[in-house]
Amino acid sequence: MNAPTEHAAIARQHLIDPEICIRCNTCEEICPIDAITHDSRNYVVKFDVCNGCLACVPPCPTGAIDSWRNVEPVRHYPIDEQLKWDVLPDTTELDNFDATTGATGAGETPAEVKEITEVATAGHGGPALAPWSAAHPYVNLYSPATPVTATVTGNFRLTADDASSDIHHVVLDFGATPFPVLEGQSIGIIPPGTDANGKPHLLRMYSVASPREGERPHYNNVALTVKRVTEDHEGRPAKGVASNYVCDLKKGDKVQVTGPYGSTFLMPNNPGSSIMMICTGTGSAPMRAMTERRRRRMHLKEGGELLLFFGARTPGELPYFGPLQKLPKDFIDINLAFSRLPDQPKQYVQDLIRERADKVFRMLTDDNSYIYICGLKGMEAGVIEAFRDICRANGTDWDALRPQLLAKGRFHIETY
């Protein structure tokens, strides 16, 4: 029945499942041909642009991206229709055709599709990988349709009273419901209520700031570092729905949580492994989790160095500034960059990275050192430029080194 003439007119349309998608933007960022777009509600794939290269599929934390329907090209699902979906359309009898032996959306054979996939991932320096000694993460245990209820057990302001930013350390307890997380993973929080269109609010993702055994060790809990959003990217006043909800939570409040998410931004576990951490603001959350994991194991004398570059406007704006000062100097090498100190030149993390070029180069080229960057998107380019210059000064080509770091699970970036 699957004669070529019968399904020559069938295309495989790439879709994104709106029920599972956590709107993390990974697919749109990674698509090499800009086939993915979004509005305030949904992420969608442009039928006419997508070439089925699959570059977006492995990095998707939930698998929402791996959704397909067989369609007649003239009757494909248009973007404006996809943007309105709350669920994927039902499958039709066209989906009974075996598209791996029949036609695909872009007309490739399966072998061609595979070849394009490999080229696409190689173009990004290889798929992201976790360190070889990372613990195995659990992911997607709870979806937006099946969230777990957590109870707030603490909510503390981390920034100074007179600081312009209001950053909170919020602890959530899962009681008897399993919620295993590793340092570097994120969880989703669904704010209660509905949006302007009367639809339930979408979840927002937050990095876990506590180590795997919990903020309160051996209790089933996680900590988050959340900044109250009071303005949009252009600096206009805007009240962030989720961040204000989380920052205002009281002890005993119940919260709907999804996740955990993330399987590559994970810390190495082998004794002697070193970690370079570069962050701004709430990008400190995963760094705090990793540092705390190592601090609690300090007595084991497992070795390995911790090198931290942390940027904030002033000391009062720097989350965890107090506890950081108390850590022993031989445990962690802390480099704080302050950008808005009175009578001081503006300093960014990349400036301090250049000042510490010798140590940074040694760690970049040491197979047992792992590098993590988390925070403002703008910082990423500055840090990469600093790495490039440091490598050049040492006779090494950063653009050749970077794919090697990725292939060894040694280079991890999460910026927003």
CB of 379 to ligand A2P, least distance (A): 4
CB of 385 to ligand A2P, least distance (A): 10
Residue 104 or 243 with smaller CB distance to ligand A2P: 243
3-state SS, residue 342: coil
CB of 314 to ligand A2P, least distance (A): 8
Among residues 183, 292, 317, 414, the one annotated as catalytic is: 414
Residue 294 or 313 with smaller CB distance to ligand A2P: 313
User: 302 an active-site residue?
Assistant: no
Among residues 165, 186, 207, 243, the one annotated as catalytic is: 207
The region that residue 286 occupies, defined by phi over 0 for left and psi between -120 and 50 for alpha, beta otherwise, is alpha
Tokens (6 digits) for 302: 């497992």
Quote the Cα angle for 257-259-260, to 5°: 120
CB of 172 to ligand A2P, least distance (A): 23
User: 317 an active-site residue?
Assistant: no
3-state SS, residue 279: strand
| Among candidate residues 233, 214, 232, 234, the one with its CA nearest the CA of residue 224 | 214
User: 416 an active-site residue?
Assistant: yes
User: 231 an active-site residue?
Assistant: no
- Residue 252: burial class (beta carbons within 10 Å; 0-12, 13-18, 19+): exposed
Residue 280 contacts residue 349 (beta carbons within 8 Å): yes
Residue 155 or 165 with smaller CB distance to ligand A2P: 165
Residue 116 or 352 with smaller CB distance to ligand A2P: 352
**Which residues, other chains included, contact 396 with Cβ-Cβ below 8 Å and sequence gap of 6+?**
361, 364, 365
CB of 415 to ligand A2P, least distance (A): 10
Among residues 24, 56, 142, 206, the one annotated as catalytic is: 206
Residue with tokens 């994991």: 293
3-state SS, residue 302: coil
User: 207 an active-site residue?
Assistant: yes
CB of 362 to ligand A2P, least distance (A): 23
The residues that touch ligand A2P, with contacts defined as CB under 6 A, are: 165, 280-281, 311-313, 317, 339-340, 348-350, 376, 378-379, 382
- Residue 329: burial class (beta carbons within 10 Å; 0-12, 13-18, 19+): exposed
Residue 21 or 379 with smaller CB distance to ligand A2P: 379
CB of 35 to ligand A2P, least distance (A): 29
What is the C-alpha separation between 93 and 24, in angstroms, rounded? 32
C-alpha dihedral (88, 90, 93, 95), degrees to nearest 10: 30
C-alpha atoms less than 13 angstroms from C-alpha of 107 in its C-beta half-sphere: 4
Can you point out the beta strands (E) in 109-252?
148-157, 167-173, 186-190, 204-207, 221-227
Residue 127 or 382 with smaller CB distance to ligand A2P: 382
Question: What is the identity of the amino acid at 151?
Answer: T
Residue 318 CA: distances (Å) to CA of 48, 54, 193, 233, 360: 46, 40, 32, 20, 23
Tokens (6 digits) for 379: 């910082």
Residue 233 or 329 with smaller CB distance to ligand A2P: 233
Question: Which residues are marked as active site?
Answer: 206-207, 374, 414, 416
